């Protein structure tokens, strides 16, 4: 099996609103899969279905061969998620936070202790391991959030806008760490509004808008297809066209 994720006609309605509209795609094992799209495109909803947090309205998906609807427990063991919002307890220390989440995953205390020490070293938080998380900078909290996602040794790591709102040093650290995850053989799904980030990190790019995947392919193939030097240009060509046509239409009508 060479795919980490195989989704077929995945669909999610919120009432009458179709947030994800019959989306099909495959994520290859060991690649960085960049998922981009304007606000409200349906990226986070799609991710939440893959993570088994939201139940699809229709369609199906397999994670490492396990069905997200019929085998959610298996799927959860294989996925580590860094969500848009940080989930950490401010009065607790990094060690206490990780112990809490590790226990939720049912990890054995001795294994958990070792894993926490190893991860805190990796995300450069060993020196502050006994300080309350509430005193941390946003960058430090995000590093801890990443450690939390890796506690149970997942095969697929999903990061939803992981560098949003971070300072340049923290952004650099997170990007390098994502490459490091790939080099260790993990599969990564990454969403971002920063096209430079996607251009730097992603192997495959999926461009989503209004619940649909408009285009998907290897980053270099997409650039070639659209005669672009940057993924940003492909993105704007596909998602900015309506807006551009509308504005140029208005300008024409006003004699410009």
Q: Given CA atoms 178, 182, 188, 190 in this order, what sign does their dihedral have?
A: positive
Residue carrying the six token digits 């300080």: 131
CB under 8 Å to 138, separation ≥6 — which residues?
165, 166, 167, 170
- Do 12 and 49 touch, CB atoms closer than 8 A? yes
Taking the least distance from each CB to ligand ATP, the nearer of 31 and 161 is 161
* HEC readout, 78-122: HEEEECCCCCCCCCCCHHHHHHHHHHHCCCCHHHHHHHHHHHHHH
Residue 14 touching ligand ATP (CB under 6 A): yes
Taking the least distance from each CB to ligand ATP, the nearer of 43 and 77 is 43
Taking the least distance from each CB to ligand ATP, the nearer of 14 and 89 is 14
Q: What would the x/- binding string for ligand ATP be over residues 22 to 41, using CB under 6 A? A: ---------------x-xxx
69 makes contact, choosing from ligand ATP, Mg ion, none, with CB < 5 to 8 Å by partner type, with: none
CB under 8 Å to 5, separation ≥6 — which residues?
25, 26, 27, 33, 50, 61, 62, 63, 156, 187, 189
- Quote the crossing angle between the two packed helices 168-183 and 138-150, to the nearest 10°: 20
Taking the least distance from each CB to Mg ion, the nearer of 120 and 157 is 157
Nearest approach, Cβ of 241 to Mg ion (angstroms)? 22
Residue 43 touching ligand ATP (CB under 6 A): yes
Residue 52 touching Mg ion (CB under 5 A): no
Rounded CA separation 173/135 (Å): 20
42 makes contact, choosing from ligand ATP, Mg ion, none, with CB < 5 to 8 Å by partner type, with: ligand ATP
14 makes contact, choosing from ligand ATP, Mg ion, none, with CB < 5 to 8 Å by partner type, with: ligand ATP
Element (H, E) at 221: helix 219-225
Residue 249 touching ligand ATP (CB under 6 A): no
Query: Within 28-47, which residues bind Mg ion (CB under 5 A)?
Result: 43-44
40 makes contact, choosing from Mg ion, ligand ATP, none, with CB < 5 to 8 Å by partner type, with: ligand ATP
The footprint of ligand ATP (CB under 6 A) covers 14, 17, 19, 37, 39-45
């Amino acid at each position: 099996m060479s795919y980490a994720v195989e989704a077929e006609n995945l669909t999610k309605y919120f009432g009458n609103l179709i947030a994800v509209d019959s989306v099909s795609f495959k994520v290859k094992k060991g690649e960085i899969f960049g998922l981009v799209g304007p606000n409200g495109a349906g990226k986070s909803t799609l991710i939440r279905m893959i993570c088994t947090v939201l139940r699809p309205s229709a369609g199906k998906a397999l994670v490492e061969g396990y069905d997200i609807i019929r085998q959610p427990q298996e799927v959860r063991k294989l996925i580590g998620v860094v969500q848009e919002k940080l989930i950490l307890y401010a009065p607790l220390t990094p060690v206490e936070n990780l112990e809490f989440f590790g226990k939720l995953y049912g990890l054995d205390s001795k294994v958990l202790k070792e894993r926490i020490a190893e991860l805190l070293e990796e995300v450069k938080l060993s020196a502050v391991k006994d300080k309350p998380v509430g005193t941390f900078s946003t960058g430090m909290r995000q590093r801890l959030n990443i450690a939390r996602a890796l506690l149970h040794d997942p095969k697929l790591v999903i990061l939803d806008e992981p560098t949003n709102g971070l300072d340049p040093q923290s952004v650099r650290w997170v990007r390098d760490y994502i490459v490091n995850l790939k080099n260790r053989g993990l599969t990564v799904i990454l969403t971002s509004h920063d096209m430079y980030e996607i251009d730097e990190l992603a192997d495959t790019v999926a461009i989503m808008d209004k619940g649909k995947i408009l285009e998907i392919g290897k980053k270099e193939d997409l650039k070639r297809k659209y005669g672009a030097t940057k993924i940003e240009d492909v993105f704007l060509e596909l998602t900015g066209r309506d807006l551009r046509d509308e504005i140029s239409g208005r300008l024409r009508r006003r004699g410009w």
